Structure 1
């Protein structure tokens, strides 16, 4: 098939086949049969080499023109079929705008209660002028114990209470911090007073039951300057408890205690009225005035500077405020539990709008 009449017949047949294609699959089959490597037009192009030179140019131009016309017809038919398919789809896929909006990932996702409580605590203390300080989870004996005035024979330094790494060649050992107090030490070593920080983060101890886990969360506070006293400590803790539990008044009592890094030291209880259980007391944190030895260990003059420190478990605060009975569930990865106790991703705690609203 090389004459002009044959080419017209071929063009007529291909145009008919293109027009008769009922869907995109059939149209693609026509394209392959015409323009594919072994298609009818491609076979014509392969005959150019066997033609006399005087015929080759004319025949080549004619075949190229035919190829262009067929390609244009294929594109036009493809557009028609795609438009028809879209119209058919729109007829069958209709949206009932009266239905309620389906919740998306933002509405279905949940913030872990501990993360939410951390944001609440940061919001409260930021309003009092505290900044957030952070430090490494892996610490040295010096930062975790020595500079905090904790003696070598203290029970907290034993293997049954602290996670130690393998000893180094010089006999020293790194450990997983047992509190966020090393962040206070690092701050006092690197920053001159006045200091007003909170130090939230993960801490680790060898303990596991309904109210204890090997890893938990803690936030500690530190204030160092030349005039801070016990009254300031009590006021800060009282204002924090009122803001956190979202009550107008809170009963507090301070019981004498002992911590190596504070003197005097106190345990703090609050009246359970704050969580709807009148007539009971709840122990929530420990605190005290920073021990002079700790100030000396950090290069601060205890005759010039003084301050207070406190520490509270974020997990315990979460359990008290939101009525969660078992600490171990915090780390179970149970999506059903999280959907019940978790918070909306858009529920950002603010003092103005309400911490837990």
Structure 2
């Protein structure tokens, strides 16, 4: 069969790279339509995966809407040329409509209950919509699985942290260090919401730097909050960030994806988000309430306090036990993706 993967975000490179390689190894034709956003194409290059750029991300909460026509046209042209049997995407109206026009099955992965507008334009046109088992909404053509997107690439069957990679780039995996990630918060569903404020970013980095080396990755620093602060940029290439995260004594930030990555790796993880609380996404609630692998706060001062406590005295043994219980309960999501794609064809 022929499969087209729609990769619109760096996290989707990780989600789909393993399944794409497995499908190619099984003799299927695999193609990737990329969206130039952050380090998406850099990660694809590092993974050795060929791709075609279908569109480029703009800036601001309405940029995705403005980009949609160009992306839709690019995907339709690509789909008509490749004639895929299956188009695989996250929530992306352009991908499912390209699949429909090309006569292909559309397989969608969705783990965000907050994504309403794009979901309404995507779900009903998909043949299969895959969601985590704890997903709080019923959606058309839904198929639930017991796992998280991040387990497609951080499950022990797929990833083993390598301390040698860190040493090659001057990082001692036994040193005390924290990884901090700040997101842009410019998606349309983020309007009126935020993670760390500029002042909160400064407090977090200043407090963490007193007890550990701090490595910072940020989508942008438009507010200048990071200028002159005692923090280092990531010392490893982007394709080695999970090795850095796995050996960290603490993760803190307002990124949704990296918070989950840290949690499933068993790294003490703190997340500041306006979404935190009873209305939070189901994956965060499950990681926090069921497994104790994540601490989410709407109050950024409370997030700073917890992050500093973790960095000062990391609960590695407790987190390792909780992670083992999580892994015993969850599936290998990459294998699930392959099964769904082959089944849809």
Give the alignment's TM-score, normalised by structure 2: 0.24
> Rg: which structure is higher?
1
TM-score (norm 1): 0.24
